[in-house]
A and B are shown apart, each in its own frame.
Chain A
């Protein structure tokens, strides 16, 4: 279970957000650009330091004091796939797995499952620097899932991809979240993407504060602010 209270003073606004997430559930953080959504994710991941508050994951204190990144055991994907360009696709996927663990039959089988489901076979030995943006997101997804993280943080990981690929990746994520049982917090400025990925619940941020929590139906039927109404309205 994730419990977090993030207070972060940015140059342009103060982010002050409280979150609780049950194991295996997913929540979409929605709001206009600059609302503080990515800051919240970065603070939970440890990429940024909150100025105050706390972050706990399954009883483990992530902040304060700030737990080193390598002990956090969570998955984090952004619109920049962040593949290691000097390694091959397979080396990227095995990157986060200890050598001893990688040698076990169960782990090998798990990687083989990821490889099949995410259609990575043709890319397996390709240099990571030479694959397309869409392929890179698949590899980044496989790399993140290889470690079976209990919590996955997604910061607009589908930006710039075509609709078909976005649909496939969302389906993959939902499939794997059921397989592994991870919790998920996703950030996007497209409501339809978040609604598909995290259909149960949404949190809306404006100016660094939560202005509404609820189901997507509640958000569409009774948006808490005019800005939210405008963001949810069809073009």
Chain B
């Protein structure tokens, strides 16, 4: 790319970034002094803990279950793959509130599975387990669809060459497919993380307690108004952004290798 074109592209990208970040100038809006007293700080920090721990746990399950599923779908025939993709789209297509209602009905004490779980002393409404299950439903489709695209991008001939060099399928996956798709997998994981940690509509129905950050933002808005929302918003950005960003940093290392 010539220098002038490069600078034009950079200028355009800078404008794009400014437009994307423009809403965040509202953090400077005159709404009075921000409220960060004990009555706000305690629940806010508890919500940070809930969001990070439980969303992190949900991500572990999403990666552990979603990666082999994505690897399978990537090898399916076109027709079978289309069915899988439709299934994966269903939970992420629904309005989050609707998903939350369905999850509560299905896993709550009045659903058939929920009743069995209740007998086993496992409550899937307003509990940490309910929070995790909701995050999984919210993020799984994003991760698996992204992971399938990442696996698709690995040239088939390299996998076949590895097999001809004597590696069984599991080793081909670990030594060729996985390393070559790491950037795409990182993007898929970060999208699932961002989507899940910011989820409000579904979580507010299934797990009002324990409150994660989005629900706590809502509580703060209702109870104290905007001055109690802004500090939690800053905390939210500070704790939610580094992890997906770090995943990108790690995946970009030796990108051209």
Contact = CB atoms under 8 A, between A and B. Distances in A.
B119 interface: no
A138 interface: no
A75 to B, nearest CB: 8
A86 B164 contact: no
Contacts, number: 58
A82 B167 CA distance: 15
Given A86-B179, A86-B180, A74 B257 contact: no
A214 interface: no
A37 interface: no
A84 B163 CA distance: 12
Contacts of A143: 165
B158 interface: yes
Interface of B is mostly: helix
A73 interface: yes
Interface stretch (A6-14, A64-72, A159-167, A199-207): A64-72
A133 interface: no
Given A47-B160, A69-B160, A80-B157, A86 B165 contact: no
B256 interface: yes
A98 B168 CA distance: 12
Interface string B155-182: 1011011111111110010011001100
A147 B180 contact: no
A96 B167 contact: yes
Given A70-B167, A70-B168, A82 B254 contact: no
A70 B164 contact: yes
A129 interface: yes
A2 to B, nearest CB: 16
Nearest to A78: B157
Interface centre among B162, B166, B169 (most CB of A within 10 A): B166
B164 A69 contact: yes
Interface string A69-109: 11011111010101011100000000110100000000000
A147 B161 contact: no
Interface residues of A, number: 25
Contact of A69 (B163, B179, B257): B163
A73 B158 CA distance: 16
A127 interface: yes
A73 B175 CA distance: 19
Interface string A30-68: 000000000000000111000000000000000000001
A86 B155 CA distance: 13
A125 to B, nearest CB: 12
A85 B176 CA distance: 9
A80 to B, nearest CB: 6
Interface string A141-170: 001000100000000000000000000000
A95 B162 contact: yes
Nearest to B159: A69
A147 B257 contact: no
Given A47-B160, A86-B257, A129-B256, A147 B165 contact: yes
Contacts of A76: 161, 164
A12 to B, nearest CB: 21
A74 B161 CA distance: 11
A82 B161 contact: yes
Contacts of B168: 68, 70
Interface in A117-145: 127, 129-130, 143
13 contacts: A70-B163, A70-B164, A70-B165, A70-B168, A70-B169, A73-B166, A82-B155, A84-B162, A85-B180, A85-B257, A86-B254, A96-B165, A143-B165
Interface of B: 155, 157-158, 160-169, 172, 175-176, 179-180, 254, 256-257
Given A143-B165, A147-B165, 10 more contacts: A46-B164, A68-B168, A68-B169, A70-B172, A82-B155, A82-B157, A84-B180, A95-B162, A98-B166, A147-B166
